[in-house]
Each structure stands twice: as C-alpha cells, then as structure tokens.
Amino acid sequence: GDSVTQMEGPVTLSEEAFLTINCTYTATGYPSLFWYVQYPGEGLQLLLKATKADDKGSNKGFEATYRKETTSFHLEKGSVQVSDSAVYFCALRDNQGGKLIFGQGTELSVKP
Amino acid sequence: DTGVSQNPRHKITKRGQNVTFRCDPISEHNRLYWYRQTLGQGPEFLTYFQNEAQLEKSRLLSDRFSAERPKGSFSTLEIQRTEQGDSAMYLCASSLDRGYEQYFGPGTRLTVT
C-alpha cells in the first residue's frame, strides 16, 4: 500500500541555519503531496502542498518540490527561526478515498 | 467560520469502560475524517464520511470502534471496552469535498488506565 517515509528526528539547528527534512513516498499513480506542521500545544496545520510532478509548494519561507523521478518531497527553508520549532509531517493523499497517509514526523528544535 | 472542534479535549478512563468523542466539522464541509495519533508517530487513518455515509474503514478500526455522522453534520467516535492500547490522540478533520484541503481539529487525548 501507499506509504511515506521521513528522516528521523529530532533535528536541532541554530537560528538562521539551512533546513532540509527528507521525505520519500511509495504510491500508485501520482498522489498530491503535503507538508503539515504541528506547533507545541496546537493542532495540525497545512504548511504547503503540491499536486503534480515538478510543482513547487511554498509558504512562510518553506519550499518543497514534487520529484516524480525520485519519489521525493523534501522540505527546505533557507534560514530557520526559533518560531519554526515544531513537528513536521509529510503526507500524501490517497487517490481513491482522499484520506491522508502521513510519515512519522520530524521534530525540529531551533536554538537562538 | 470557527474551524473544526472536538470534545472533550482530554478523557481519562479505566480499562473496560466505553468512551465517546464528538467532532463538529466546518459547516458545509461534506467530508469528515477520523485519525489516530500515538506518541512519536504520524496520524493514522481510521475512517471517513461523505455526508452521512461511512465510505471507508481502516483495518485499525476493530469492532470495538464505531463511528457515526447522523444527518451529515457532527460525528461521534465510540470505543467500547477500552484497552490501554487505545490511549492516543484522536483527530478529526473535515474538507469541502474529496480533493480539497483537510482542516484538523485540536484532537481528543484519550488515556486508558
């Protein structure tokens, strides 16, 4: 079945460092891909999405490009802030019923 | 638009008891999803509704679990004869329809002692 694999955390960075969180997927066809973020004490929020190959999703300085050849959707940010500390989840949307299939999450901690 | 709400936010129960959670989706959202998230893991799909019809159930949803969405509005998730392994965060999400963004509620944290 469909699945998503993320790099394990926790990831600890200094403020203004470059961030990459790897995400690869296995799926039938070409599902839509998502990054969700969960800030401490808050619910899941959509961060960005891409619906087809070579699409780039972007939001709040974060970017991810849908790579069909490598079945990847890596999350990047050029300069992280303390406020980016959260758990990040990569997900794909099932082409049939529309349910989301999530990776295990990557905890990011940014130190001042 | 007040977003997706879930009640209660926290529930502590003893093993063997029944519990029921409620989810109120964003109004006019036709789809409603339930997920379960255990510590250190991503959310896992449980079931979803299109209006009042329950269209898919995960193998995770044992026969102790039942979900309803009467009249296609709010939904309830009931767990009978709770077990310690049921301890998790139960998340509800709604979307306008199949291809639209899912908006998540804050979750109900269940602790089974």
Q: B32: which chain A residues are within 8 Å (Cβ-Cβ)? A: none
How far does B40 lie from chain A, in Å, by closest CA? 7
What distance in Å separates the CA atoms of residue B61 and residue B79, rounded to the nearest whole number? 10
Mean pLDDT (chain B, rounded): 94
On whether any CB of chain B is under 8 Å from the CB of A40, the answer is no
> B58: nearest CA in chain A?
A99
Give me the sign of the Cα torsion angle A25, A94, A48, A30.
positive
> B103: nearest CA in chain A?
A45
User: Closest Cα partner for B103 from B1, B8, B22, B21?
Assistant: B1
Neighbours of B62 (CB within 10 A): 12
Q: A44: which chain B residues are within 8 Å (Cβ-Cβ)? A: 43, 91, 93, 104
What distance in Å separates the CA atoms of residue B113 and residue B15, rounded to the nearest whole number? 6
Q: Is it the case that residue B1 has pLDDT exceeding 60?
A: no
How confident is the model over A61-112, as pLDDT tens digits?
999 999 999 999 999 999 999 999 999 999 999 988 899 999 999 999 999 9
pLDDT mean over A40-52: 92
* pLDDT at residue B72 in the model: 86
Cβ <8 Å between A105 and B45: no
Cβ <8 Å between A89 and B42: yes
On whether any CB of chain A is under 8 Å from the CB of B74, the answer is no
Residue A7: pLDDT band with limits 50, 70, 90:
confident
Cβ <8 Å between A103 and B107: no
Q: Is it the case that residue A41 has pLDDT exceeding 90?
A: no
